[in-house]
Structure 1
Amino acid sequence: MAETQYTEDNIRSLDWKEHIRMRPGMYIGKLGDGSSPDDGIYILLKEVIDNCIDEFVMGAGKTIEVTIKDKTVSVRDYGRGIPLGKVVDVVSKMNTGGKYDSLAFKKSVGLNGVGTKAVNALSNYFRVESVRDDKQKAAEFSAGNLTLEEDVIDTTKRKGTKVVFVPDDTIFKNYKFRNEYVVKMLKNYCYLNNGLTIIYNGEKYYSENGLKDLLAETIHVEDQEYPIIHLKGDDIEIAMTHSKTQYSEEYYSFVNGQNTTQGGTHLAAFREAAVKTIREFYNKPFEGSDIRKSIVSAISVKVMEPVFESQTKTKLGSTEMGPGLTTVRTFINDFVKTNLDNFLHKNPEVADALLRKILQAERERKELSGIRKLARDRAKKASLHNKKLRDCRVHLTDTKNPKSLESTLFITEGDSASGSITKSRDVNTQAVFSLRGKPLNSYGMTKKIVYENEEFNLLQAALDIEDEMENLRYNNIVIATDADVDGMHIRLLLITFFLQFFPELIKENHLYILQTPLFRVRNKKETIYCYSEEERVAAIEKLKPKPEITRFKGLGEISPDEFVHFIGDDIRLDPVMLDGATSIETLLEFYMGKNTPDRQDFIINNLKVEIDAVES
């Protein structure tokens, strides 16, 4: 065999924009289409806003205006404005930015020297405008290439920076910005920056009480075991309560304003410190899991020169608060020990409610201990030859692997559907769990049922979330059922299971419904898959005179060769989201409780259209 030549001609240096466009995942994580909150289009938005936040932190500009119309994003701050001579460089030269001067930006949040360059390189259209000292300078780019550089002009506009961009649709396929994700991101910025106002498409967001407001929106007053404990210090803020109805622990963690969705050293330190302080306060050797059961909490810390375990900063790796400073663990432990202990001494009614909650958790754990061991043994045996789970290679816990955010578990019904997905999936990032028939309606049942019901127990084991959410093995949990009445029912039963026992999977945007096509319309030259009646009509019009039309009645009818289109780059997912205005208990009671005339009326008025569309 001839030897491959390896000469100087083989070595190619990519310029900054080529590299970002060729390897976008290194800079912004996964691409996605906007159905998931960690999809690339939201990272682009975040990178631009982070620069505005840094201005706010420096005391320049208290308002940020964000507008998203169709696919065009505009972000305007009233900070100091980019120095006019550097407007082009700051958005188009790598390692250019104000954050290298660590006196100015000791605890900044963005991708140092990379953020806006990544946005520029990954946008069809990118415009930056800076106003300083009554003068304005602007430049426009396409895919990172300078297309227009305007001269400096006099202006009466207020100082600050405005960035307008349109993400490149050759990189982000079929994308759309989902309002819910954008609002959640912007609210988090307000919770973490007291005094900041963000105006988004005309709506104003502002937070008076920081993380206390975040928790108040997350957990309804009637579901709080005791009023939210809110503790603040230099470089640290904590809010916590316990839920009356939820079984699992739920945490929101932040470092320098960045939402660390995968936790890290600061969250581990807080969980440990809370247990230690509470044990010492009551002088009782409680189990850590009993203290933390049902806890809902938020923690924010500011760290100098933080080290993250991934480029998109979802997990903190730093062990110190900054070069030469105390460890993160010691800092958080000392703060919690002093402040939480003081709070409990000053608020005996909260201390009593917390004690009751811990004792209740202890009783429930002891009641479950026997059945838990049996269930674990059963799950262990099953996992050796678990026919229900066809696993993948990369999991969410592999934080150093850039593909970890793509890890997906499809929950399917029946063998034919799981067979098609199993044959056409990407074995690196896509796993399949197949259900046998309809799952149990778990509404109103205790955690005991999760261990007694083999299917639920194996699903819990596959996700590895029995003890804590940090072990979650898949970023996306996708319910893949037929689009018929039975399929809808299975979706509802699975959503009920997750809401009842693992609601944070939904709150943290891990649960989705797979959209699959209802029709295939084709002629000899082209095939179009249609997800709605409107798409079918448009496809028939496009492929006329007489295309062949196939109606898919179930997932099992779609061959693996075709299925690969629906779970690959063009996958369409509908996120399962919670409306902050309704408590989980109220929601479950309405949909899954005893039949009520209200629910019957609701179904008659709302679901008939769905069923008609599915059956036509």
Structure 2
Amino acid sequence: MSTYNEDSIRSLDWKEHIRLRPGMYIGKLGDGSAYDDGIYVLLKEVMDNSIDEFVMGAGRSIDITVNENKVSIRDYGRGIPIGSVVDVVSKINTGGKYDSKAFQKSVGLNGVGTKAVNALSTQFTVQSYRQNVTRIAQFAQGELVSDEKKDTTQRNGTAVTFYPDNSIFRNYKYRMEFVENMIWNYVFLNSGLTINFNGQKFVSENGLKDLLERNIETESMRYPIIHLRGEDIEIALTHGQQYGEEYYSFVNGQHTTQGGTHQAAFREAVVKTIREFYKKDYDASDIRASIIGAIAVKVQEPVFESQTKTKLGSQNIGPDGPSVRTFINDFLKKALDDYLHRNPDTADALQKRILQSERERKDIAGIKKLANERAKKASVHNRKLRDCKLHFSDKHERNLETTLFITEGDSASGSITKSRDVMTQAVFSLKGKPLNSYGMSKKIVYENEEFNLLQHALNIEEGLDGLRYNNIVVATDADVDGMHIRLLLLTFFLQFFPDLVKAGHVSILQTPLFRVRNKKETIYCYSEEEKQQAIKKLGAKPEITRFKGLGEISPSEFGLFIGKDMRLDPVILSKENKLSHLLEYYMGKNTPDRQKHIVNNLRVELDTEDVLTQVAG
């Protein structure tokens, strides 16, 4: 046994602790392929401080630049007090937000945010402009490098520039779609704020109403968006054509992607208010089916379930205030009831949607019962699912890593199963090409055994609250059949569980196309360009292997591609691509537009013998 004495005890300073345990401060690390990866949390932590300045009435614009691995943020608030510039970004539990009078309803309350950004950056610069004096402090991995103070004519405010440390965030890349979504949420929640991002201006006049309009196809709305505002609360809601429920929830400007007490209270209050308005005891699932809602509340001293603040745990609005549940219920009870009385057309359209959901639910009740019984039996010994030990719903520091790989065929699933991390990685094996579910009703989810088992594996039948894996990764071969299976799976998710995709949980696994090696080194290449670079690097005719399918990759090799260096392509729905049109174009009947596209882009690849024959002829 090793000796355990006083010499075994070690005390880490603040930056060492953050760098050793970054997950405690920013959640998962990642490479930028998921919206909640660490590089976006770093940006958010700095932005939250600038937003808090705006909320306090200081500064109406923020400038942001993201250029490859460099991030710059400049606000025009009051500026960090000159004497505290270094301490604020390098001393844990130092900040201005412990005084609730200065920041009544702030997001960042723990005095950790910018310190984590500082410690996890190769370079970090903070500059405060305050009353014609500026102070600039530069750090490297949390270590102070320089500190300078001088006169200035610049407007008051704070500027922060940082470079995420690529030894921690390996092969990272900022995806502008995720950054833009974050920025849109900031302006939706802060009317009057202008954010200038990479030369583009972001501003919102109608708050959460604008948020829903940006995320919903107008033609799919069953009635105009109901938009309600009160003191410390704002709500927008409508019903669409999709299956399931979709929510956007916020606390003090923070996007709580995992919901929390406020979102649960919102779902409950909508049901209660609607039942009382129509004087009908409608089933809660019929009222909420296809609902799209957004809620933003302001809470004094909010309690979140983690430093990344993705789920609200607070039970009360403030130390002396009512419970979150009572506050939201009382507001909706009056505001939504008044709105429906004043807008009878909307009230009629809402009731028709509820009655339609009721008919659909009763129509599939028998099939659903049988399917759930079959799924329960299958779960005892489900050969399709090789589960992991931890799940997304667990309160564990690794729950964000939980991943379900959806594979095609036994050989691919066998390789992944043997090389996976059994704590956080599960495998679901398809027996072949799944059904094209485009245009079908929810009934098919229960009638099709494979879809039903997948739905149960994910635990999303009643919504995303019980989702068992944070990452759903489609792992198919990089050939025509593999691409087709991807499309069929995405069609299934987008048809019946679009919120799963919109919440950023679905992605595509990149696996290497080539292995280039000599006796000293092996390089895995994901493209023709990478292959050429590897050949150039190794020289002298290295051995080149072309992987035709995932089953050809040995388990020992596969472990390299699903570990810390795993490459994922997130499935992102852009505003420009309307979901209904997208599905119709790719997965509908043989549409004229698709036929025309295929004819115009048809490319015939000839082998060498064919080319020589044609030349000779």
TM-score when normalising by structure 1: 0.97
From 15, 18, 27, give the equivalent of 1:17.
Answer: 15
Secondary structure of 2:407's aligned partner: strand
Q: 1:324 to 1:432 in 2, by over 3 A?
A: same
Q: 1:111 to 1:167 in 2, by over 3 A?
A: farther
Which residues of 2 match residues 279-358 of structure 1 at below 5 A? Answer: 279-358=275-354
The CA distance in 2 between the partners of 1:605 and 1:450, in whole Å, is: 36
* CA displacement, residues 432-465 of structure 1 (integer Å, 9 cap, x when unaligned): 0000010000001000000000000000000111
Q: CA deviation at 1:210?
A: 0.3
Aligned length: 607
Secondary structure of 1:98's aligned partner: coil
Q: Are 1:540 and 2:535 matched, yes or no?
A: yes
The CA distance in 1 between the partners of 2:333 and 2:539, in whole Å, is: 73
The answer to whether the 8 A contact 1:265-1:316 is kept is: yes
Q: CA deviation at 1:221?
A: 1.3
Q: CA deviation at 1:601?
A: 3.4
Secondary structure of 1:139's aligned partner: strand
The CA distance in 2 between the partners of 1:52 and 1:372, in whole Å, is: 50
From 357, 372, 379, give the equivalent of 1:361.
Answer: 357
Q: CA deviation at 1:308?
A: 1.1
Which residue number in structure 2 is paired with residue 249 of structure 1?
A: 245
The answer to whether the 8 A contact 2:129-2:135 is kept is: yes
Secondary structure of 2:138's aligned partner: strand
The CA distance in 1 between the partners of 2:574 and 2:378, in whole Å, is: 37
Q: CA deviation at 1:575?
A: 0.6
In structure 2, stretches of 5+ residues that fail to align are 608-617
Q: CA deviation at 1:417?
A: 0.1
> Please, which moves more after superposition, 17-26 or 99-108?
99-108
Q: CA deviation at 1:202?
A: 0.4
Q: Are 1:421 and 2:416 matched, yes or no?
A: yes
The CA distance in 1 between the partners of 2:495 and 2:74, in whole Å, is: 41
The answer to whether the 8 A contact 2:107-2:302 is kept is: no
Which residue number in structure 2 is paired with residue 274 of structure 1?
A: 270
The CA distance in 2 between the partners of 1:141 and 1:609, in whole Å, is: 56
The CA distance in 2 between the partners of 1:155 and 1:51, in whole Å, is: 22
Q: 1:16 to 1:102 in 2, by over 3 A?
A: same
- RMSD value over aligned CA atoms? 1.4
The CA distance in 2 between the partners of 1:23 and 1:499, in whole Å, is: 36
Q: CA deviation at 1:110?
A: 2.1
Which residue number in structure 2 is paired with residue 33 of structure 1?
A: 31
Which residue number in structure 1 is paired with residue 130 of structure 2?
A: 132
Secondary structure of 1:99's aligned partner: coil
Q: 1:611 to 1:174 in 2, by over 3 A?
A: farther
Which residue number in structure 2 is paired with residue 220 of structure 1?
A: 217
Q: Are 1:205 and 2:202 matched, yes or no?
A: yes
Q: Are 1:504 and 2:499 matched, yes or no?
A: yes
Q: Are 1:524 and 2:519 matched, yes or no?
A: yes
Secondary structure of 1:100's aligned partner: coil
Q: CA deviation at 1:582?
A: 2.9
From 439, 454, 479, give the equivalent of 1:484.
Answer: 479
The answer to whether the 8 A contact 1:480-1:514 is kept is: yes
Secondary structure of 1:82's aligned partner: coil
Secondary structure of 1:80's aligned partner: coil
Which residue number in structure 2 is paired with residue 445 of structure 1?
A: 440
Q: CA deviation at 1:536?
A: 0.2
Q: CA deviation at 1:322?
A: 1.0
The answer to whether the 8 A contact 2:385-2:428 is kept is: yes
The CA distance in 2 between the partners of 1:22 and 1:605, in whole Å, is: 54
Secondary structure of 2:519's aligned partner: coil
From 148, 151, 154, give the equivalent of 1:154.
Answer: 151
Which residue number in structure 2 is paired with residue 104 of structure 1?
A: 102
The answer to whether the 8 A contact 1:266-1:329 is kept is: yes
From 448, 451, 457, give the equivalent of 2:452.
Answer: 457
> Please, which moves more after superposition, 564-573 or 102-111?
102-111
In structure 1, stretches of 5+ residues that fail to align are none
* CA displacement, residues 500-549 of structure 1 (integer Å, 9 cap, x when unaligned): 10111111111100000000000111100000000000000000112110
Q: CA deviation at 1:342?
A: 0.4
The CA distance in 2 between the partners of 1:111 and 1:331, in whole Å, is: 22
* CA displacement, residues 473-505 of structure 1 (integer Å, 9 cap, x when unaligned): 111100000000000000000000011101111
From 585, 588, 597, give the equivalent of 1:590.
Answer: 585
The CA distance in 2 between the partners of 1:392 and 1:474, in whole Å, is: 10
From 170, 174, 182, give the equivalent of 1:173.
Answer: 170
The CA distance in 1 between the partners of 2:576 and 2:10, in whole Å, is: 55
Read off the aligned partner of 2:215 and give its amino acid letter.
Answer: T
The answer to whether the 8 A contact 1:485-1:611 is kept is: no
Which residue number in structure 1 is paired with residue 232 of structure 2?
A: 235
Identity of aligned residues (%): 71
Secondary structure of 1:329's aligned partner: helix
The CA distance in 1 between the partners of 2:227 and 2:604, in whole Å, is: 47
The answer to whether the 8 A contact 1:47-1:111 is kept is: no
Q: CA deviation at 1:156?
A: 1.2
The CA distance in 2 between the partners of 1:182 and 1:549, in whole Å, is: 38
Which residue number in structure 2 is paired with residue 113 of structure 1?
A: 111
Q: Are 1:599 and 2:599 matched, yes or no?
A: no
TM-score when normalising by structure 2: 0.97
* CA displacement, residues 90-149 of structure 1 (integer Å, 9 cap, x when unaligned): 111111110111111121112521110000000000001111111111010000001111
Q: CA deviation at 1:402?
A: 1.4
Read off the aligned partner of 1:49 and give its amino acid letter.
Answer: M
The CA distance in 1 between the partners of 2:460 and 2:10, in whole Å, is: 45
Which residue number in structure 2 is paired with residue 68 of structure 1?
A: 66
Secondary structure of 1:371's aligned partner: helix
